Amino acid sequence: MRARNSCLLTSLMLPLLGCSSSSSHTTTDAGKGDSGGTMHKTDSGTHADSGHARDAATCGNPCSDVSGTCVPIVAGESESDIVTAFSVAKAGTTLAFGAGTFAFTNTLALLGVPNLTVRGAGMTETILDFSGQAAGSDGLDAQDSNHLTLWGFTVQNPKGNAIKVEQSSDVVFEAVKAAWTTPMGMNNGPYGIYPVSVQNLLIENCAVTGASDSGVYVGQSQNAVVRGNDIYGNVAGIEIENTWGAVVENNQSHDNTAGILVFDLPNLPQQGGHDVRVMNNQVVSNNTLNFAQTGDIVSKVPAGTGVLVMANHDVEVAGNTITGSNTVGIAVVSYLATLIPITDPHYYPYPYDVSLHDNTISGSGSNIDSSVAIGLLLASAVTTFPDQRGPDLAYDGAIDPTKLADAGAGGDGGVNANAMNICFKNNGAASTFLDINIQKLEIYGEGDAGPAPADGGPTNLPLIDSFNIAPFTCALPATSQVDGGVTFVDASPGASCDASHP
Amino acid sequence: MRRVAPLIAVALAACSSSGSAPLAGRDGGHDATHERVEDAARDAPHDAGAPRPCTVGGDGGYVDAPFPKLSQYCIASIVDGGIALGPGVVPYDLNTPLFSDYAIKVRGVWVPPGAHASYNDASALDFPIGTILTKSFGFADDMRKSSPVIAWVETRLVISTASGYQAYTYIWDADGKDATLSYSGEVRSTSWINADGGNVTMNYLVPSFVQCKQCHNLDGVVTPIGPKARQLNKDYDYPDGSENELAHWSRIGILEGAPDASVAPKLPVWNDPSTGTLAERARAYLEGNCAHCHNAEGTAFTTGLFLLASEDASTTYGICKPPVAAGAATGGRSYDIVPGDPDASIMTYRLASTVPQVMMPQIGRSVVDVQGLALVTAWIASLDGGCGP
């Protein structure tokens, strides 16, 4: 390293040291793998000599019990210094915020450096506040950041997504929160916790509220675990989209427009969502008015939807408690239900091999949201439904035309209604069921299983086919376990911000 | 195209000797008359006898770590209000550059003596280790003036090193004598008078180190954006006369393998109708302004929206493509491009916005490119079709 770099380094790092600590951490060259050149080394001597007095009101040096390279960031540090620290962080560094609120005007970003940890003193203690954001869109954005751990802070009021991690592997979100403080704000950012194109993922003990699209959105990813989170006041609570291998378990998803979505959408690099497990979640009162913008796919979801599975295969939804969903408890639909024309020849719009069993469903369908197409369809027919309310369980009944041909049915009469293997079992003896048979809608053509040219929407409502669940009462083998491939490791036990901590 | 009076008449470059002249140009022809006034000072007199206190590349250490000060590179300095490139630094511009808040940009490339870039048709030229690409950004005080006062804000460098390209920016010191490496970037309130005489105040973004990489990212690797064959296949007014840039680079030995310019690919000039049809120029504009992220290897690849000019006009290009993760940025519109209906197209909504979470590009502008938006709007309006319900 050249002398000039040491000088620059000192000037870069000093402002970040808000506390003196003999336990600031030593590193040698943290190795290759980042693209930031070779000048950026933290240096224990530099740290220890900085001599800033610690603010007694904070919880001390945020690095005090971090092993390895650590950059402490305490309340009062400038945005410029924080961004610089993020920019020059080498592989293996922990960027440790102390307690307090840190205001940002631009996205805080990481790119191309592996093995980073960004941590705070806890989701209520450390607030990264983007209320004054003037540039960039997302709050915290990490790209090509393999082996990334985000832990113990809140990202608040960014203009765009709160925390986006893309094109990375082995990513952990532990006890972080994304929040917009304007309830149901149409101009709130779309996603709270937003990993996209991530391989191996854990989202655990986090919270999201206020997202104008999805609180937790796992997009085009592989091997994801979403566990133990509290997600509320968003349009969609948790959305797994175009993802291969995911488990959503033991979450609280409540007071969103929809609780849990498992979607596959066309025109994306990774399609064919499959092997998704939705297990043992509490999905409660997801009846918030849909405040997503028109055009956004979740704007098509009726308020009062508990769990919605669209165009995925090998999905298991089991052991969930789904309560007070004003439109529908659990629905399995094809992309046809969006009424959006399909232009992607590689896209498969039909769900298949979906197993929904042993869920506890209550209080569904008492106030169907007719402001979106699929809700209007249900609402227009509700007087014919058992109990004259929306169903606990629903299936749009869309069948791949090639499977129709295989059945030799050639029309409604002889069709194997369950050619797609959509299986409901043990979801409560009293649960109501609806087969929408969406392909009978005029927009798709009577008896025509493929989407016909759109002609302005469904005009022959209602055309509800059946309330008989018997053809769909079946069981499928359990789906494969999904382990996420990563676990949260507390590298600094006792580091949480509490008064007893020196 | 019509030339305007040189912005800088006399060069007194501290770092320049023969072959170096201060340059200043308004990038991309965004003045009211749509005339390109770029490089207005290119035929400024050479500095003939100034001392030469610096050597481009300095001690060469920049290939290991960036210099703290721009002057250490001897690549660009401010002389009499204009940017003077260092000796042997070859100025260039592009057919259809990125819009950057009407900034004046001065570009240059320096290739170490004896080395050369390698040509290819499709992607950025492959520059040898030690190469420095430089681009300076400044704002004219009054765009109605033929010789405005230019406030230089930053000079960016892309450096070819043994471990790949690195991208840095240097913010000019208040006295304009040097510029300082910045990792954090800066949101800088900047004011000027536009071509209509209106006062413009904007939050110009000097990108952070990571934001530099976000735009220059190609499949995880920092990559130059501008110097592609199709962008460089154009004439440039060098001090010793006009010459095609590819031909010039080949002739002076900094580029090897380039075919004759007549057979090299060429991107239209977005605002020069003599260079392409409406569709071709709109596609050139979208490539220059969007495709660095919106390509199959770029930062925006997960959107599935790819805007290289070479893409088919299909869903992937935005035609009747529903949004994926735009949230409120759809503006209530259902498709990226609705043929024949720009007012129903998300693309025009986002190009017309200056709201951070809505506007596209996300990084690199804070005001609307009115002329660029008009071009894209006219192109979408010219398409036949529609997208159904």
Residue of A267, A295, A455 with shortest CB distance to B333: A295
Q: Which residues contact B343 (CB under 8 A, 6 or more apart)?
A: none
- A124: pLDDT strictly greater than 50: yes
Q: Is A269 on the interface with B (CB under 8 A)?
A: yes
- A308: pLDDT strictly greater than 70: yes
**Amino acid sitting at position A363:** G
Mean pLDDT to the nearest integer, B72-76: 97
In 3D space, the residue among B338, B356, B231 whose CA is nearest the CA of residue A187 turns out to be B356
Full 3-state SS string of A204-260: ECCEEECCCCEEEEEECCEEEEEECCEEECCCEEEEEECCEEEEEECCEEECCCEEE
Name the pLDDT band for B249 (thresholds 50, 70, 90).
very high
Mean pLDDT to the nearest integer, A386-411: 76
- B165: pLDDT strictly greater than 80: yes
Q: Which residues contact A382 (CB under 8 A, 6 or more apart)?
A: A365, A368, A388, A389, A390
Residues in a beta bridge with A317: A278, A356
Q: Is A184 on the interface with B (CB under 8 A)?
A: no
Put simply, the answer to whether B210 touches A109 (Cβ < 8 Å) is yes
3-class secondary-structure state, position B139: strand
Q: Cα(B207)–Cα(B187) distance, rounded to whole angstroms? A: 8
pLDDT for the residue numbered A226? 98
CA distance A112 to chain B (A): 7
Residue of A4, A88, A189 with shortest CB distance to B183: A88
pLDDT for the residue numbered A271? 96
Mutation choice for B interface testing from A73, A296, A339 by most B CBs within 10 A: A296
pLDDT for the residue numbered A437? 79
Q: Which residues of A touch B220 (CB under 8 A)?
A: 112, 144, 167
Q: Which residues contact B244 (CB under 8 A, 6 or more apart)?
A: B233, B234, B235, B236, B261
Backbone angles phi, psi at B107, to 5 degrees: -110, 150
> Distance of CA A476 to CAs A40, A434, A467, Å?
55, 20, 21
Q: Cα(B323)–Cα(B350) distance, rounded to whole angstroms? A: 12
Backbone angles phi, psi at A19, to 5 degrees: -145, 145
Q: Pick the range with the lowest mean pLDDT from A210-224, A361-375, B19-33.
A: B19-33
- A31: pLDDT strictly greater than 90: no
Q: How many CB pairs under 8 A join A and B?
A: 208
Summarised one tens digit per residue, pLDDT across range A187-231 is: 899 999 999 999 999 999 999 999 999 999 999 999 999 999 999
| Percent of chain A with pLDDT strictly greater than 70 | 78
- A46: pLDDT strictly greater than 60: no
Contact B116, B255 (CB under 8 A): yes
pLDDT for the residue numbered A403? 81
Put simply, the answer to whether B213 touches A111 (Cβ < 8 Å) is yes
pLDDT for the residue numbered A442? 55
Q: Output the six-digit token pair for A491.
A: 């590298």
Q: Which residues of A touch B326 (CB under 8 A)?
A: 190, 293, 295-296
Summarised one tens digit per residue, pLDDT across range B149-162 is: 999 999 999 999 99
Q: Is A263 on the interface with B (CB under 8 A)?
A: no
Q: Which residues contact A455 (CB under 8 A, 6 or more apart)?
A: A442, A443, B389
CA distance A110 to chain B (A): 6
Name the pLDDT band for B329 (thresholds 50, 70, 90).
confident
DSSP secondary structure string, B253-296? Answer: TSEES---TTTS--PPPTT-GGGS-HHHHHHHHHHHHHTTTSST
- A381: pLDDT strictly greater than 90: no
Residues in a beta bridge with A240: A218, A262
Q: Pick the range with the lowest mean pLDDT from A178-182, A323-327, A442-446, A454-458.
A: A454-458
Q: Which residues contact A53 (CB under 8 A, 6 or more apart)?
A: A19, A20
- A10: pLDDT strictly greater than 50: no
Full 3-state SS string of B327-375: HHHHCCCCECECCCCHHHEHHHHHHCCCCCCCCCCCCCCCCCCHHHHHH
- A65: pLDDT strictly greater than 60: yes
* Closest Cα in chain A to B68: A8
DSSP secondary structure string, B191-224? Answer: EEE-TTS-EEEEEEEEPPHHHHHHHTEETTEE--
Q: Pick the range with the lowest mean pLDDT from B37-46, B152-161, B306-315.
A: B37-46
- A106: pLDDT strictly greater than 50: yes
Q: Cα(A318)–Cα(A354) distance, rounded to whole angstroms? A: 11
**Amino acid sitting at position B91:** P
- A457: pLDDT strictly greater than 70: no
Contact B56, B88 (CB under 8 A): yes
The highest-confidence range among A293-297, A408-412, A462-466, B342-346, by mean pLDDT, is: B342-346
Name the pLDDT band for B15 (thresholds 50, 70, 90).
very low
Residues in a beta bridge with B166: B159
Within 10 angstroms of residue B354's Cβ, the number of other Cβ atoms is 12
A445 or B355, greater pLDDT? B355
pLDDT for the residue numbered A407? 47
Put simply, the answer to whether B203 touches A134 (Cβ < 8 Å) is yes
Q: Pick the range with the lowest mean pLDDT from A371-385, A422-436, A472-486, B18-32.
A: B18-32
Residue of A79, A105, A143 with shortest CB distance to B217: A143
Torsion angle defined by CA atoms of residues A80, A81, A83 and A89, in that order, rounded to the nearest 10 degrees: 160
Put simply, the answer to whether B327 touches A292 (Cβ < 8 Å) is yes
Q: Cα(A383)–Cα(A401) distance, rounded to whole angstroms? A: 31
Within 10 angstroms of residue B255's Cβ, the number of other Cβ atoms is 26
Give me the count of residues in chain A: 502
pLDDT for the residue numbered A21? 37
* Closest Cα in chain B to A343: B315
CA distance B184 to chain A (A): 5
Name the pLDDT band for A491 (thresholds 50, 70, 90).
low
Torsion angle defined by CA atoms of residues A402, A404, A407 and A412, in that order, rounded to the nearest 10 degrees: -170
Backbone angles phi, psi at A406, to 5 degrees: -60, -35
Q: Cα(A268)–Cα(B220) distance, rounded to whole angstroms? A: 19
pLDDT for the residue numbered B116? 97
Q: Output the six-digit token pair for A366.
A: 């008492």
Task: Give chain A's mean pLDDT.
Answer: 82
B220 or B256, greater pLDDT? B256
pLDDT for the residue numbered B332? 87
Q: Which residues of A touch B209 (CB under 8 A)?
A: 36, 84, 87-88
Q: Does ipTM surpass 0.85 in this model?
A: no
Summarised one tens digit per residue, pLDDT across range B335-357 is: 999 999 999 999 999 999 998 88
Q: Cα(A97)–Cα(A377) distance, rounded to whole angstroms? A: 50
Put simply, the answer to whether A267 touches B322 (Cβ < 8 Å) is yes
pLDDT for the residue numbered A25? 39
Q: Pick the range with the lowest mean pLDDT from A5-19, A182-196, A329-343, A408-422.
A: A5-19
> Distance of CA B21 to CAs B5, B49, B85, B111, B121, Å?
15, 13, 6, 18, 30
Q: Which residues of B touch A159 (CB under 8 A)?
A: 355-357
Put simply, the answer to whether A86 touches B210 (Cβ < 8 Å) is yes
Mean pLDDT to the nearest integer, A137-161: 96
Name the pLDDT band for A383 (thresholds 50, 70, 90).
confident
Put simply, the answer to whether A8 touches B68 (Cβ < 8 Å) is yes
A415-434 burial code (b ≥16 CB/10 A, e <16): bebbbbbbbbbebeeebbbb
User: Is the previous residue joined to B148 through a cis bond, with omega within 30 degrees of 0?
Assistant: no
Put simply, the answer to whether A1 touches B322 (Cβ < 8 Å) is no
Put simply, the answer to whether B185 touches A106 (Cβ < 8 Å) is yes
* Closest Cα in chain A to B204: A135
Q: Which residues of A touch B185 (CB under 8 A)?
A: 83, 106
3-class secondary-structure state, position B140: strand
B135-163 burial code (b ≥16 CB/10 A, e <16): bbbbbbeebeeebbebbbbbbbbbbbbeb
Residue that the structure tokens 């796992």 belong to: A218
Q: Is A167 on the interface with B (CB under 8 A)?
A: yes
A465 or B386, greater pLDDT? B386
Put simply, the answer to whether A267 touches B357 (Cβ < 8 Å) is no
- B17: pLDDT strictly greater than 60: no
pLDDT for the residue numbered B18? 38
Q: Which residues of A touch B65 (CB under 8 A)?
A: 1-2, 5, 37-39
B77-99 burial code (b ≥16 CB/10 A, e <16): bbbbbbbbbbbbbbbbbbbbbbb
- B16: pLDDT strictly greater than 60: no
* Closest Cα in chain A to B295: A269
Q: What is the pTM of this model?
A: 0.84
| Percent of chain B with pLDDT strictly greater than 70 | 86
B16 or B173, greater pLDDT? B173
Q: Cα(A481)–Cα(A223) distance, rounded to whole angstroms? A: 10
Mutation choice for B interface testing from A267, A301, A335, A459 by most B CBs within 10 A: A267
Widest pairwise Cα distance in chain A: 84
CA distance B297 to chain A (A): 10
Contact A458, A377 (CB under 8 A): yes
Q: Which residues of A touch B353 (CB under 8 A)?
A: none
- B315: pLDDT strictly greater than 80: yes
Q: Cα(A313)–Cα(A244) distance, rounded to whole angstroms? A: 10
Put simply, the answer to whether A7 touches B68 (Cβ < 8 Å) is yes
Summarised one tens digit per residue, pLDDT across range A266-302 is: 999 999 999 999 999 999 999 999 998 877 888 889 9
pLDDT for the residue numbered A405? 52
Q: Cα(B327)–Cα(A251) distance, rounded to whole angstroms? A: 24
pLDDT for the residue numbered B327? 77
pLDDT for the residue numbered A489? 84
Mean pLDDT to the nearest integer, A138-143: 96
Task: Give chain B's mean pLDDT.
Answer: 87
